[in-house]
Amino acid sequence: MIAVDTNVLVHAHRRDSPWHGAAAGLIRSLAEGHAPWGIPWPCLHEFYAKATHPRIFAPPSTVAQALDQIDAWRASPTLTLLSEGPDHIDRLTRLLQDSQVVGPMVHDARIAAICLSHGVRLLWTADRDFVRFPALATRNPFEPRP
């Protein structure tokens, strides 16, 4: 399963993003494809927070626009919304200990733990901080493949 991080979701949604076309195409390919794909719940929460934030976007997405976008993604029959499972605290604890992450970076550790619990084989993200969690394979879909 491929999972999608917040930054890819924001670029797919915001037409003013320089990566909008690429991100929208990637999400469309997942949403219209036959393979299962996932979005961690914390990434949906963060998507909403960023897309509607007036200090990030001028103008920001409206409440209706952001919620409509979430509903459009949720309409994909192959999408799974990923959440914490029974093994979450054990997996998160191991990631935190192994990476020595502190402070706000725990958010990325939480996403990594959720993905690993759901058997995600690849997380699409433009966030390089996920290299701290080598058990989770990541790829920046906006960079050319080697």
| Distant-in-sequence, close-in-space partners of 135: CB < 8 Å, separation ≥ 6 | 95, 112, 116
55-79 confidence digits (pLDDT tens): 999 999 999 999 999 999 999 999 9
Where do the domains of the chain lie?
2-139
The class level of CATH for 2-139 reads alpha beta
At 145, the pLDDT band (50, 70, 90 cuts) reads: confident
Among 52, 79, 125, 143, smallest CA distance to 112 is for 125
Q: Which are the contacts of 62, defined by CB distance < 8 A and separation ≥ 6?
A: 52
